[in-house]
Amino acid sequence: MAQFRALSPFAKMPTLVDTTTGETLYESTIVIEHLDRLAGAGRLIPAEPGAALEARLVDRMVDTYAGGPMNRIIPRKFRPAGHEDPFGDAQDAEILAGAWDWLEARLADGRTWGAGETFTLADCGAAPILTYARRLVPFGDRPRLRAWHQRLMARPSFVRALEDAAPFGDLMPAPPAED
């Protein structure tokens, strides 16, 4: 852990060490933007300004209103008996449900991916958060959100990421989603 904290000040993932440039990057959006730049730019962050803003908006909304509550609920599950926070858990579950509602409404225009017809930064950041946060607050009756998540789950890159993460799946203190 000490070695990891030396790389990532808050000991959070993802953390990327680019051995070519000597840069250490953390936080999903920054890592994705770095990789997009290396790939020639314009692949994950659209070149068109409006599309780029939509990709960043969906990314920020998912990270803040789904990832934020998830990252508060999970550590509370590891607290010793007598130190639980049911009120905080309920508040965060409500915020997560609101994020699901916002995404369901955003997807109502028929878009294929989180920010439109092109796979973007929004999808890269959303895939892991949606996968794990829905274990805490299921998607429920949100068919567009469920369909987007299914498309994300079918992407070969995410399939591989899930396979790589499988040995650590039992560390998530919530049962697999049933919806």
pLDDT tens digit string along 111-161? 999 999 999 999 998 999 999 899 889 999 999 999 999 999 999 988 998
| Structural domains for the chain | 2-38 (no CATH), 49-168 (1.20.1050.10)
d(CA 105, CA 145): 9
- pLDDT at position 42 over 70: no
Q: Does the N-terminal peptide bond of residue 167 adopt cis geometry, omega within 30 degrees of 0?
A: no
Q: Residue 60: name the closest of 17, 7, 114, 12 by CA.
A: 114
What percent of the chain lies above the pLDDT cut of 90? 58
Instruction: Give dist(CA 157, CA 74) in Å, integer.
Output: 26
Going by their DSSP bridges, the two strands 23-26 and 15-18 should be labelled as antiparallel
Rounded Cα distance, 112 and 108, in Å: 10
pLDDT exceeds 90 at position 172: no
| Residue 113 φ/ψ, nearest 5 degrees | -115, 175
- To 10 degrees, what angle do helices 86-106 and 68-76 make? 150
User: How many angstroms separate the CA atoms of 35 and 32, rounded?
Assistant: 5
Write the pLDDT tens digit of every residue in 47-94.
899 999 999 999 999 999 999 999 898 888 888 899 989 999 999 999
> What gap in Å lies between CA 140 and CA 48, rounded to an integer?
34
Percent of the chain with pLDDT over 70: 97
User: Which candidate, 119, 132, 143, 121, places its Cα nearest to that of 176?
Assistant: 132
* Average pLDDT of span 8-19: 87
Q: Which two tokens stand for residue 10?
A: 């808050």
Residue pair 63/125 in contact by the 8 Å Cβ criterion = yes
pLDDT score recorded for residue 110: 97
Neighbouring CB atoms inside 10 A of 132's CB total: 19
